A and B are shown apart, each in its own frame.
Chain A
Amino acid sequence: MRAEDGAVISGVGQSAIGRQLDRSGMQLTLDAIEAAVTDAGLELGDIDGLAMFPGGGAANLPGYANGNLYEVQDALALTTTWRQGQVEGMSLPFYGPAMAVATGQARHVVIWRTVKEGSAARRAGGRPAYGSTKPVAEGPLAWLLPIGALSPVVQVAPFATRYMHEFGATREQLGWIPVTQRAHAGRNPDAVYRDPLTLDDYLAARTISTPMCLYDCDVPVDGATAIVVSATETAADLRAPVRIDAMAGVIDGRPSWDQWEDMARVGHATARALWDRTTLRPADVDVAQLYDGFTIEVVWWLEAMGFCPVGEAGAFVEGGHRIGLDGELPLNTWGGQLSGGRLHAAFGHTAEAVRQLRGEAGDRQVAGAEVAAVTNVGGYEAGAALLTRL
């Protein structure tokens, strides 16, 4: 049995999203859960499974983890038949919940991701150092934080340097990713940055860690996203469920940023596993919500998923025509994390994919969208899914 056949995404909901919101992580979480459950056509009492990302205590950054699982369950006054302390946010957040509902462990699972990183950055007087919630650097970070590689951007940057060196991609090409996504954000009332961004703005922005500038990096925000995953057999009770056609999360290579062997194959094993689980082909994808913690991750996903050949993503995005709303592969139609906010772990990407497939994406709707690709992270961790109309 395929978990994909036994599970649907029935609801998505979000709190307000902003650079800094005067509202607690707990209240943002409850806002998103209420919205998602209503969106599914369900009531809170129908929910019998809960999971979040990350689990308790897993935060490396101030503001990273909010909406404590125990407190949320208590607030909702729910009995659960399935619960996961930490949903696998780095592979694909609805992977485990889909297996739970497909195997009858629960009927309707709500999962959430709540960030207060915008407020945390303001308190710190700037984006805080990764690992700064702990006195010492542990695990893979023990080799990076002591030398001053204090942010994911610094850890990813050498691989962007290497990619551009190997394939000749340029900043003038990569800049079309944030520029195009900003145009999409202009049509999304919930995006945090909506004013037009030009390629000149991109090229003139301050350098964070070469070759990455400010606009290559996603935006720390406050906000919560909730997703309801339901058993397919409950479809008649649901307002507008979306089908999970295929999902995969293969972790190959050495799982750390300093040891990962080859940037030319980021996400490739995951994408191969994904296409092995479906009869759909890359050309069938109508909208692509590709993880964009950094622009270079979009580059890697475009190639891994087969939307363009390896080494050619720079040329693919250049000019923005192919990745625009009326292009062959509309990309991150909500603005992505680069303009819509770092909602993290593909929660924002999944919410947008569901809205596009339902035709509920407002001014940024891609006409007739029937197949959406969602990818998560991009590096030594990688998850991907294809969602379709039911």
Chain B
Amino acid sequence: MTGIPPAVTEESEAFWAGAAEGRLVVERCTSCGARQFPARGMCRTCRSRATEPFEITGTGTVYSFTENHQRWRPDLEVPFTIVLVEFAGHPGVRVAGRLRGGPAAIGAPVEIGFEPGPEGVAVPSFVVA
């Protein structure tokens, strides 16, 4: 796998640190409880500034997908599948990642996972459930 590594910011630091440990960390509002991703340091539901990292566990659902065939960089292994995954009980959270372990389908359940990405950064890599 290859790509371009992320610029890690104060807002995204918790996500990438969690990813390195195999955990999916989003953001939760301590005022209204809403979950959101990516982290903004402001709740998109109630606009409170009181937010904290929040780990999502369990099964996600494929919102949509694409199978990439074009070799955009000489070292890019193709084909591979990109999925957009949502989580029941966590409206407002959708995470883009790779998909492993089977063909993609809209509505299909997937398990949370990660794989080494560019420069060794752990990136989301969901697994067909």
- A binding-site residues for B, Cβ under 8 Å: 125-129, 131-132, 134-138, 141-151, 153-154, 157-162, 165, 206-212, 258-259
Contact = CB atoms under 8 A, between A and B. Distances in A.
Contacts of A142: 6-7, 9, 12
Contacts of A259: 38, 94
Contacts of A147: 3, 82, 96-98, 117, 123-125
Contacts of A129: 4, 72-73
B106 A146 contact: no
A228 B1 CA distance: 46
Contact of A151 (B7, B72, B95): B72
A149 B106 contact: no
B54 interface: no
Given A147-B124, A150-B4, A258-B84, A208 B70 contact: yes
B71 A146 contact: no
A138 B65 CA distance: 22
A320 B84 CA distance: 33
Contacts of B12: 142
30 contacts: A127-B72, A132-B73, A135-B4, A135-B5, A137-B3, A137-B5, A143-B38, A143-B95, A147-B82, A147-B98, A147-B117, A147-B125, A148-B76, A148-B80, A148-B98, A150-B3, A150-B72, A150-B76, A151-B72, A158-B66, A158-B82, A158-B83, A161-B64, A161-B65, A162-B106, A209-B67, A209-B68, A258-B84, A258-B95, A259-B94
A153 to B, nearest CB: 8
Contacts of B2: 148
Interface of B: 1-7, 9, 12, 38, 63-74, 76, 80, 82-84, 94-98, 106, 117-118, 121, 123-125
A146 B76 CA distance: 12
A151 B70 contact: yes
B65 to A, nearest CB: 6
Contacts of A128: 72
Given A146-B6, A148-B1, A148-B3, A162 B64 contact: yes
A154 B123 contact: no
Contacts of A157: 66, 68, 82
Given A125-B74, A129-B72, A149-B3, 15 more contacts: A136-B5, A137-B3, A137-B5, A142-B9, A146-B5, A147-B117, A148-B1, A148-B2, A154-B68, A154-B82, A158-B83, A165-B106, A209-B68, A209-B69, A210-B69
